[in-house]
Structure 1
Amino acid sequence: MARTTLFTFSLLLTILLGLLLTLSPAVSQPTLEALPKIRAGTPPHSVLGNIMGSNRQFMQGIKATDPGRQLTQAPHLIWLADPDPRISPEMVWERKAGGIYTVRNLANQLEPAAAAIDYGVRSLHGTILLITGNTDNQAIAQFNEGYEHLGTAIRRELNQLHPPLARLLATTGKSAEEMQKLLVRQVESNVDYQVSRALERYRDRVDSGRLVVAGGVIDLANHYGGGPGRLYLINLNGETEPGKIRQSSHVVRVPPEMRDYLGRRSAR
């Protein structure tokens, strides 16, 4: 009896050791699985390659012994814009024309960018502050849809859109076409509001003629019918009436073919 029990115990121990030896490689060696792709788009290595390649192209014709660029002149233009990647400086300024001082934040708001704008106006003595909104503005669309689920910093910035959009809050039951037209009016209202805040903040420089504050809309979605990317100047030192804007001495150098885009127009 004792011999049978010992044999049975030895057999079970042998089977158990065999199972452990069989399973141990799978336990000790991690399974190699493909990592899921986090998001669609251009991979980082391509972006970094483009960054360095662009700088190489920029540096063509510049010698290693050339002196560095000196900030000796005031920027011709201080530009406050939305960070939408579809917007580029070439839409409002030719590179060869001189310096452009660019500040961008969600929905082109003055207050969140006050320090940078103050520096451009009061320290660098810029003469034009151009504030541009854009149709199909994703920040204002997010404001309409609700943003309570977003991060603290984004909520804080979007919260500041309540004053300019208080009269034009989105309501339920609107068709897609109605919402599209509402968004255009919101963009225009926000530009007017930001211009008014700039006029309050820099009143001394505006009154002395050392600063002009202009507001415009870059029509990315071609809602006005002038082509996608067209700039419409809708506010000039607080003046919003198209006829008076066209009569201003500040626009005498605007090319004749561009005078049709001075002043706001109804979205299609």
Structure 2
Amino acid sequence: MGSTRKFLEELLAGNQRHVESLPENYFAEVQTDQHPDTVAICCSDSRVPQEHMWGFDHPGVIFTPSNIGNQVWDDDDGDRIVDGGVLYPIHHTDTDVAVVVGHTGCGAITAAYQVATGGDFPGPKGVDKWVEMLVPVIEEGLESDLIDREMNESTVINQLVEYNVDYQAGFLRESDDVPDDVGVYGFVYDFQGVYGNAYGRAYLVNVNGETDSGRITELIPDEFATSTQSLLY
């Protein structure tokens, strides 16, 4: 109890510093309404700073739902539907860009990989649900020609992270609930130096279905050429 109370005090102190650091009128433009440019669905992981990773220091720019394995869907009586956290800003706040953000060393992908290769679900039930929805994606990835199963397990898992980002982005693009003019981009946030030596870089791996890093490079300014890499293509 003592350690949890100590951390509670740290949270309160941290929020106090946050309040004191905010400039005057920080929330003035978004107090009664929001029109974020982007909805970015990330994995629920403490190592992935959802707004800070994009360098934004003001509110109302990024709508940030997250879940286990950065999955864009949910289960509705056996049907896969686009998760409400993704659909809400697209339909109600004029958001016209959707971003799927995976990350290296993902525990959700690792758990789904272990289940797909004969292991047990990690539990509890609330976690198992999301891992179970990932397992068919991982199985499909393992059966494809894109994953090199001869590599060590960590490399295979990071390839599957990117595969899942592509899969989730494809689900959004194919959904009737997502308008055709919504841009859909996929990133892998790398804090392990898997894609390169720029720790904390979000590597662009999918642009509206384009996954070839060479072609993606042609779609972005030259100064960001090193921001697109792929473990699959």
TM-score by length of structure 1 reads: 0.70
Compare relative contact order (CA 8 Å, sep 6+) and give the higher one, 1 or 2. Answer: 2
Can you list the C-alpha shifts for 1:188-247, whole angstroms capped at 9, x where unaligned?
1100000001112257623xx3x2110010112211222332211000111111232223
Can you list the C-alpha shifts for 1:163-212, whole angstroms capped at 9, x where unaligned?
32123449xxx88x610110111001100000001112257623xx3x21
Structure 1 residue 71, shift from structure 2 partner: 4.1
SS in structure 2 at match of 1:161: helix
Percent identical across equivalent pairs? 23
* CA–CA distance in structure 1, aligned partners of residues 137 and 32 of structure 2: 35
Please list every run of 5 or more consecutive structure 2 residues that lacks an aligned counterpart in the other structure. 75-81, 144-148
* CA–CA distance in structure 1, aligned partners of residues 28 and 137 of structure 2: 46
Structure 1 residue 68, shift from structure 2 partner: 9.3
Aligned equivalent of 1:151, options 124, 140, 143: 124
In the alignment, residue 100 of structure 1 is paired with which amino acid? Answer: I
In the alignment, residue 55 of structure 1 is paired with which amino acid? Answer: N
> If you compute each CA radius of gyration, which structure gives the higher value, 1 or 2?
1
RMSD: 3.0
Indicate the structure with greater strand content: 2
Matched pairs, number: 214
Q: Which runs of 4+ in 1 moved over 6 A?
A: none
Aligned equivalent of 1:47, options 1, 4, 7: 7
Residues 94-173 of structure 1: pairs in structure 2 closer than 5 A: 94-96=56-58, 98-112=60-74, 114-145=83-114, 146-148=119-121, 150-169=123-142
* CA–CA distance in structure 2, aligned partners of residues 92 and 68 of structure 1: 20
Indicate the structure with greater helix content: 1
Please list every run of 5 or more consecutive structure 1 residues that lacks an aligned counterpart in the other structure. 1-36
Instruction: Kindly indicate whether the alpha-carbon contact (under 8 Å) linking 1:147 and 1:155 is maintained by their aligned counterparts in 2.
Output: no
Cα distance change, pair 186–73 in 1 and its aligned pair in 2 (3 A): same
* CA–CA distance in structure 1, aligned partners of residues 189 and 28 of structure 2: 37
* CA–CA distance in structure 2, aligned partners of residues 71 and 102 of structure 1: 18
